[in-house]
Amino acid sequence: MRPLALTVFLALVLAAPLAAAQPAPAQDPHAGHQHGPIADQHEQPGAGPAAAHAAEGEGKGFENGRGAALLFWVLALATVAGSIFVVTRRNLVAAVMGMVGTFFALAALYAMLYAHFLAVIQVLVYAGAIMVLFVFVVMILNRPEDEPWALQGLLGKALAGVAILYLLVRVSGVLWDVKDSPHAVVAAPRPQAIDTTSVGVLENPIQSAQRDDDWGSTRSVGKALFRDYLFPFEAVSLVLLVAVVGGIALSRPHREAEDNNE
Amino acid sequence: MNEIFYKLTVSHFLILAAVVFAIGTVGVLMRRNALIVMMSIELMLNAANLTILAFARYHGGAAGLEGHALAFIVIAVAAAEAAVGLAIVVAVFRTRRHADIDRLTLLKH
């Protein structure tokens, strides 16, 4: 079980630096709408391969190029594999660890959709708080069960070693870049004007003109949350209060519930 | 045909969310451990969030940010649901010494 959890940790370690490296292709803000795949799939079926070749030749390193697509497929694979892992485990701790890996991959996907604030919230709330809650409950009611199949022994250790080595390499690479230029790991501003015929999800077709550079950041989401959505926000605080009170009331031992065994 | 592999559209994210939601549904329906069922519910909520954020990204602008606010509220409600649900699981386990939802048939008869 422990090597399997480490295998999930490998997926987690793979997902996190890739997500951190994702905004890096946006450093050239003008390359995006020039070489992007701008062909509409439904309206111009013939223009697809040409745009694809353009993206293949010149579009490397920009946000809707092949790097982003490869990142998406890796993260999608991690998400689906982690979900299947969670659903098929007998061991609860392994399932929780798989869930944490899945949440990290989902947070990276949120970041790909420019939901930076929600990616951070996902990691903090889901992978942090909720999964710690699950681990506590597993600790309370854990009974050891047999594993259907698991990577045992040397393979799991080798995977864990590769994961840790990869983590060290990536972290040292990031730190090296920071020493060179302080803005190398910071996301560049988004492209301002985008071709309106674009249908790529990473390029916005509808309201690109009035969109801010920090769309999806903490500032803009906070504006939406505290202006238009202030009442739901406060209602959610009430829901959380009720949940806290309900959790305490439910988990407190009741004397009259003791004789209630089916 | 090959371009679906390297040209991202909103459909990629929607299909991924649908797949994750389906896996979560399978987990809710097939597993008997209450904790696994709750984790599958969390998976389904995350798939819904991914759908919301994909559409928010596709739409953009202020309306897209409203989608972000909605996803934020979904996360908060999911946290509340996890707290209450885990408290229920702990209470059930305390009285019955198991958390097998197929054996919790008190309301069935």
Nearest residue on chain B to A261, alpha-carbon basis = B96
CA atoms of A14 and A77, how far apart (whole Å): 12
Residue A32: what residue type?
G
What is the percent of chain A with per-residue pLDDT over 90, rounded to a whole number?
23
Does A137 contact B65 at a Cβ distance shorter than 8 Å? no
Q: What is the pLDDT of residues A181-204, one digit of tens each?
A: 444 334 444 544 444 444 455 544
Please report the number of interchain residue pairs, chain A to chain B, with beta-carbon separation below 8 angstroms: 244
Is B36 in Cβ contact with A86 (below 8 Å)? Answer: yes
CB contact B107 to A (< 8 Å): no
Of A254, A178, A207, A84, give the one whose Cα is nearest residue B19.
Answer: A84
Reported as a pLDDT band with limits 50, 70 and 90, residue B96 is confident
pLDDT in tens, B14-57: 999 999 999 999 999 988 888 999 999 999 999 999 999 999 98
B7–A55: do the CB atoms touch at under 8 Å?
yes
Return the pLDDT at A198.
45
Q: Using an 8 Å CB-CB cutoff, list chain A residues near B20.
A: 79-80, 83
Residue B84 has pLDDT above 70, yes or no: yes
pLDDT at A256: 56
Pair B83, A239: CB distance under 8 Å: no
- Angstrom distances, CA of residue A111 to CA of A7, A73, A195, B98: 23, 14, 22, 39
| Highest mean pLDDT of the ranges A12-16, A71-75, A172-176, A188-192 | A71-75
Q: Is the per-residue pLDDT at A236 higher than 60?
A: yes
The residue of chain A nearest to residue B96, with distances taken between CA atoms, is A261
Q: Which chain B residues are closer than 8 Å to A247 by Cβ?
A: 83-84, 86-87
Reported as a pLDDT band with limits 50, 70 and 90, residue A13 is low
- Contacts by A142-146 with C-beta closer than 8 Å and gap 24+? A142/A92, A142/A93, A145/A90, A145/A91, A146/A90
Cβ <8 Å between A225 and B69? yes
- pLDDT for A26 equals 38
Pick A159 or A188 by higher pLDDT. Answer: A159
The answer to whether A243 contacts B81, with C-beta atoms less than 8 Å apart, is yes
pTM tops 0.80, yes or no: no
Considering only residues A70 and A152, tell me which one the structure prediction assigns the higher pLDDT. A70
Compare CB distances from A250 to B76, B87, B106 and report the shortest one's residue.
B87
Of A193 and B62, the structure prediction assigns the larger pLDDT to B62
Cα-based distances in Å from B6 to A65, A66, A81, B53: 7, 5, 21, 20
**pLDDT score, position B97:** 81
A65-71 average pLDDT score:
82
Q: pLDDT: is A22 or B6 the higher one? A: B6
Residue B40, chain A, CB below 8 Å: the answer is yes
**Are B60 and A130 a contacting pair at CB < 8 A?**
no
Chain B residues within an 8 Å CB radius of A129: 79
Residue of chain A minimizing CA distance to B54:
A113
Inform me whether the pLDDT recorded for A48 exceeds 50.
Answer: no
Instruction: Give B39's contacts in chain A (Cβ within 8 Å).
Output: 86, 95-96, 99, 134
